[in-house]
Amino acid sequence: MKITLNAYQIADALKNDTNASWSYNGSLALAEYLEEYEESTGEEMELDVCAIRCDFSEYSSLLDWAHNYFGEEYIDALAIDITSSCDAMRDKIREYINDHG
């Protein structure tokens, strides 16, 4: 027996996982990503909130992600000019994630 869930139902299940701290927007974005992945591969997935919690993380900002991923050396690792604006720094981080993520 199987139940097919839509993105909103998946997001609700992720948000209701008491061992995770997803925002609703984060859980919905992840649900939409998982649906797109399923469609692009043609493989049906089983919803396992524990496995998802272990495989994915949500950060409050791109700078938090960079700091967590690279540590204190994220400015050097991403070749960020420290005199750059915050927008330029976020763009550099986005570029790195798009190229390597």
Whether 2 is covered by a domain: the verdict is no
- Same structural domain for residues 19 and 42? yes
Residues 7-50: pLDDT tens digits?
999 999 999 999 998 999 999 999 999 999 999 999 999 999 99
pLDDT at residue 18, rounded to an integer: 92
- Same structural domain for residues 44 and 76? no
pLDDT at residue 6, rounded to an integer: 94
pLDDT at residue 74, rounded to an integer: 82
Q: Quick one: which of 66, 68, 57 has its CA closest to 27?
A: 57
- Same structural domain for residues 68 and 51? no
Residues 60-95: pLDDT tens digits?
999 899 988 888 888 888 888 878 888 888 898 999
- Same structural domain for residues 70 and 50? no
* Helix 24-41 with 7-15: angle, nearest 10 deg: 130
Whether 1 is covered by a domain: the verdict is no
Q: Which domain holds residue 17?
A: 7-55
Whether 24 is covered by a domain: the verdict is yes
pLDDT at residue 100, rounded to an integer: 87
Distances (CA, A) of 7 to 13, 27, 63, 65: 10, 9, 28, 25
- Same structural domain for residues 48 and 68? no
